[in-house]
Amino acid sequence: MSPLGDVIERSIFIMKFERKQIGHLSSFLFCFLVLLSSYIMIRIVFPYMSWKWNVDFLLTKQFIIHLDHYRIAFYTHIFSSLLVLFAGAFLFSSYVLKNFPLMHRNFGKAYIGLILGLSAPSGLIMSFYANGGYWVKFSFLILTPLWWYFTFKGYSSIRNIKIKEHKEWMIRSYALTLSAISLRMYQYLLSHFFYIEPEIQYLLVSWISWVGNLLVAEAYIRIRYKYFRITKTGGAECITTKEIKKLWPVNIIAITFV
């Protein structure tokens, strides 16, 4: 074997081993963080189970809370989105997919059904009444249709057995799901470490919370699938030595250190 071939073979072996170890750790950390976030969201949502109109966020909606369609949309959105957030924690674990495929499938059905039928439509109704002015409304009016569309594409791609496309669309979908968490995180950071007018602050977080997540998701998709292909079973494998050689000499260094 040529020196180049030897380097490539060793690089592939290291990539497979390190990716497996890092993959298990990252999956565990991801599930832990999402479950922790779900717990925090439960604490936020719990007071609304009193069904009173003077609780936290609803205090800012006293001029529209009497509208039946808004109240229905609000309660539908907060309770269904909580379940969506929880279900999504188990959808991106390769361990769950490999060892508990039925669990993955059932959580996936719940995730998709809740978003398409409840969370996104109710969120769209709420968007028309968002606090903060027209630009905030515009942000949420873009977010909710995208959330529905990405989730629908994830559903349609798996129905057509397009595994790679399914994973990519679901990553985008869950990135927007997590905007509920990132919005509150940015609100906390901006209010505690920066002096910004509340109206400007909410305008910023209404866009950053989901645009930032989507940019991270797109970067992750491109990095993850550049040197790995999705198998028919839903796993991932390195591209072959022959395919990697075609990348020489520019990208071989990048492969070695991925």
Contact 176, 146 (CB under 8 A): yes
Phi, psi angle pair for 171, to nearest 5°: -65, -45
Contact 122, 73 (CB under 8 A): yes
179-210 per-position pLDDT tens digit: 988 998 898 888 888 888 888 888 999 999 99
Burial of 52: CB neighbours in 10 Å, binned 0-12, 13-18, 19+: exposed
Residue identified by tokens 């799901």 is 177
- Classify the phi-psi angles of 133: left when phi > 0, otherwise alpha if psi is within -120 to 50, otherwise beta: left
64-107 per-position pLDDT tens digit: 888 999 999 999 999 999 899 888 888 887 778 888 889 899 99
The segments of the chain whose pLDDT lies below 50 read 4, 7-8, 12-18, 230, 232, 234, 236, 240-242, 244-245, 247-258
| Calpha distance 96→93 (Å, rounded) | 5
Burial of 54: CB neighbours in 10 Å, binned 0-12, 13-18, 19+: exposed
| Calpha distance 150→168 (Å, rounded) | 9
pTM: 0.75
